[in-house]
């Protein structure tokens, strides 16, 4: 059996396990699963976990071990077998995560916790086993970090609610430092509603309590689930599923809840419903020991002519559209937000402005830009494409402008016109964010 067939066989076995667990959880909403730990260290599960971690790439943790070192030096078989042995014998101990501060648009930073590759594989194996059980419980309003769900699905839900229903007010909610403020004890109680295997619960507790290293110093973690951990998005969804469940049972009359991880909106018909929704959210968050970020959360008037709201990198606004017969309908349209546009322009400048880029060949510049451009096109171009492409063409213009500056600094005596320079970069494979001039 060759490597490709082995990988497919492993994937099929893992998928079969996940389907079995999902169906068992769906059939009995009160069932607690007690024999899961041995599935976490099953060799097919660990190989699938390693395959996913390797595909995601990522940098090294506190031990400095890279994926490249494991593949080219240490040995993949040896690496996976060692993890299996540590888990089987109960000797597995996670290392602290490496803390890295990621700059935000407002000048502040967001802490990112980077686990070691060994810990990422162990977390991924646990996620593979646990995710189908909790997927059986997760609600239809949740779209973030879930299989076969995406930001596009969340925005499609918003479009349907607004364009086919009566929505005139939006509660746009931001949770203050969500990942950093999840209480461990309450989170584990919610996990225990489905999982009774003490070894699995102990494993999750170890990851939560692993601590982090920053500037050579160790810090304990008594609260929160580090962003960057493989298991963290699943745990975050388990915690906020409490809100989703309560809303579905008791408060759907107030409005439609749409949630993507810790970003959420509630789409309401009346202002009174929106104000009541805020009270409900405050009460639920108080029980979860969370709080609403007052600076970033707002009540949005979605009536005709109003400016709309930002959600998931898009601006959503009612815009007049001419229908058949000369009638004008005000339809919710979505396009990249001002903040998203600013980020894209800043990224282009970051990639092309440094002086060392003048030593790069045009082919190197294109090879560096194309994955970034493709990522933007995949995300922003997939939502309301007719509207989004108009804005994405402005990013293309900015890329072209920066490339013209690069070319003229590199070739001071070259008298090519701006159009010729852009055509040259297109001829050597430069992609466009808008997709204009290329097949989408």
Residue 281, both tokens? 């959210």
Q: What's the pLDDT score for residue 415?
A: 79
Write down which residue in 273, 306, 335 finishes a domain. Answer: 335
Task: Decide if pLDDT at 440 tops 80.
Answer: no
For 63-107, what is each residue's pLDDT tens digit?
999 999 999 999 999 999 999 999 999 999 999 999 998 887 667
Do 109 and 155 fall within a single domain? no
Q: Cα(424)–Cα(206) distance, rounded to whole angstroms?
A: 55
Task: Let me know if residue 15 belongs to a domain.
Answer: yes
Task: Let me know if residue 343 belongs to a domain.
Answer: yes
Do 364 and 293 fall within a single domain? no
Q: Cα(261)–Cα(244) distance, rounded to whole angstroms?
A: 11
- Residue 164 CA, chain-centre distance (Å), reads 28
Do 179 and 310 fall within a single domain? yes
Do 132 and 142 fall within a single domain? no
Q: What's the pLDDT score for residue 412?
A: 83
The residue among 167 and 327 whose pLDDT is bigger is 167
For the segment 224-249, the average pLDDT, to the nearest whole number, is 96
CA distances from 357 to 349, 403, 425 (A): 11, 11, 15
Q: What's the pLDDT score for residue 438?
A: 60
Going by C-alpha positions, the residue among 58, 196, 212 that lies closest to residue 130 is 196
Look up the domain containing 400 and give its range: 337-428
Task: Decide if pLDDT at 439 tops 60.
Answer: no
Do 295 and 395 fall within a single domain? no
Task: Decide if pLDDT at 208 tops 90.
Answer: yes
Do 170 and 291 fall within a single domain? yes
Q: Across all residues in the chain, what is the average pLDDT?
A: 94
Write down which residue in 300, 335, 370 finishes a domain. Answer: 335
Q: Count other Cβ atoms within 10 Å, centred on residue 351.
A: 16
Task: Let me know if residue 192 belongs to a domain.
Answer: no
Task: Decide if pLDDT at 221 tops 60.
Answer: yes
User: SS in 3 state form for the chain?
Assistant: CCHHHHHHHHHHHHHHHHHHHHHHHHHCCCCCECCCHHHHCCHHHHHHHHHHHHHHCCCCCCCCCCHHHHHHHHCHHHHHHHHHHHHHCCCCCCCCEEEEEEECCCCCEEEEEECCHHHHHHHHHHHHHHHHHHHCCCCCCECCCCCCCCHHHHHHHHHHHHHHCCCCEEEEEEECCCHHHCEHHHHHHHHHCCECCHHHHHHHHHHHCCCEEECCEEECCCECCCECECCHHHHHHHHHHHHHHHHHHHHCCCCEEEEECCEEEEEECCHHHHHHHHHHHHHHHHHCCCCECCCCCEEEECCCCCCCEEECCEEEEEEEEECHHHCEEEEEEEEECHHHHHHHHHHHHHHHCCHHHHHCCHHHHHHHHHHHHHHHHHHHCCCCHHHHHHHHHHHHHHHHHHHHHHHHHHCCCCCCCHHHHHHHHHHCCCCCCCCCCCCC
Work out how many domains the chain is built from and give that number: 3
pTM: 0.92
Task: Let me know if residue 65 belongs to a domain.
Answer: yes
Q: 168, 272 in Cβ contact below 8 A?
A: no
For the segment 224-239, the average pLDDT, to the nearest whole number, is 94
Local confidence band at 187 (pLDDT 50, 70, 90 cut-offs)? very high
User: SS in 3 state form for 351-382?
Assistant: HHCCHHHHHCCHHHHHHHHHHHHHHHHHHHCC
Local confidence band at 304 (pLDDT 50, 70, 90 cut-offs)? confident
Task: Decide if pLDDT at 362 tops 90.
Answer: yes
Task: Decide if pLDDT at 255 tops 50.
Answer: yes
CA distances from 23 to 116, 137, 284 (A): 33, 11, 30
The residue among 283 and 440 whose pLDDT is bigger is 283
Local confidence band at 5 (pLDDT 50, 70, 90 cut-offs)? low
Task: Let me know if residue 195 belongs to a domain.
Answer: no
Do 10 and 127 fall within a single domain? yes
CA distances from 333 to 112, 144, 164, 315 (A): 33, 21, 13, 8
Do 166 and 282 fall within a single domain? yes
Do 153 and 116 fall within a single domain? no
As a whole-number percent, the residues of the chain with pLDDT over 70 amount to 97
Do 177 and 293 fall within a single domain? yes
For 29-48, what is each residue's pLDDT tens digit?
999 999 999 999 999 999 99
Local confidence band at 7 (pLDDT 50, 70, 90 cut-offs)? confident
Task: Decide if pLDDT at 2 tops 70.
Answer: no
For 101-160, what is each residue's pLDDT tens digit?
888 766 778 889 999 999 999 999 999 999 999 999 999 999 999 999 999 999 999 999
């Amino acid at each position: 059996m060759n490597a490709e067939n082995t990988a497919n066989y492993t994937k099929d076995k893992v998928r079969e396990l996940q389907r079995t667990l999902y169906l068992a959880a769906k059939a009995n909403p009160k069932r607690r699963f007690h024999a899961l730990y041995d599935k976490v260290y099953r060799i097919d599960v660990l190989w699938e976990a390693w395959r996913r971690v390797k595909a995601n790439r990522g940098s090294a943790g506190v031990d400095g071990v890279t994926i490249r070192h494991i593949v080219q030096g240490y040995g993949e078989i040896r690496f996976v077998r060692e993890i299996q042995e540590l888990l089987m014998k109960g000797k597995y101990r996670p290392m602290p995560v490496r803390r890295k501060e990621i700059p935000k648009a407002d000048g502040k930073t967001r802490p990112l916790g980077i686990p070691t590759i060994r810990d990422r594989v162990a977390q991924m194996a646990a996620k593979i086993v646990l995710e189908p059980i909790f997927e059986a419980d997760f609600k239809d309003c949740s779209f973030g970090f879930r299989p076969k769900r995406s930001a596009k699905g969340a925005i499609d839900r918003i479009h349907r609610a607004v364009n086919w229903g009566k929505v005139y007010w939006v509660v746009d909610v931001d949770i203050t430092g969500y990942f950093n403020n999840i209480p461990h004890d309450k989170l584990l109680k919610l996990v225990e509603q489905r999982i009774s295997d003490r070894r699995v619960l102990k494993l999750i507790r170890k990851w939560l309590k692993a601590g982090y290293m920053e500037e050579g110093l160790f810090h304990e973690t008594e609260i929160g689930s580090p962003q960057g951990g493989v298991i963290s998005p699943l745990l975050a969804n388990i915690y906020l599923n409490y809100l989703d469940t309560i809303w579905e049972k008791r408060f759907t009359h107030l409005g439609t809840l749409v949630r993507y991880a810790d970003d959420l909106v509630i789409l309401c018909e009346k202002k009174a419903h929106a104000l009541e929704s805020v009270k409900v959210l405050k009460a639920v968050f108080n029980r979860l020991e969370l709080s609403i970020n007052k600076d970033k959360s707002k009540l949005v008037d979605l009536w005709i002519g109003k400016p709309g709201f930002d959600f998931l990198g898009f601006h959503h606004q009612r815009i007049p559209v001419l229908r058949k017969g000369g009638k004008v309908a005000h339809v919710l349209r979505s396009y990249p937000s001002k903040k998203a546009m600013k980020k894209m322009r800043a990224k282009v400048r970051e990639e092309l402005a440094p002086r060392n880029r003048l030593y790069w060949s045009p082919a190197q510049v294109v090879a560096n830009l194309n994955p970034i451009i493709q990522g933007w096109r995949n995300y922003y171009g997939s939502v309301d494409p007719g509207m989004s492409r108009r804005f994405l063409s402005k990013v293309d213009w900015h890329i072209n402008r920066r490339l013209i500056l690069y070319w003229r600094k590199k070739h001071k005596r070259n008298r090519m016109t701006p159009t010729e320079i852009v055509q040259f970069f297109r001829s050597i494979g430069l992609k466009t964010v808008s997709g204009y001039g290329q097949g989408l």
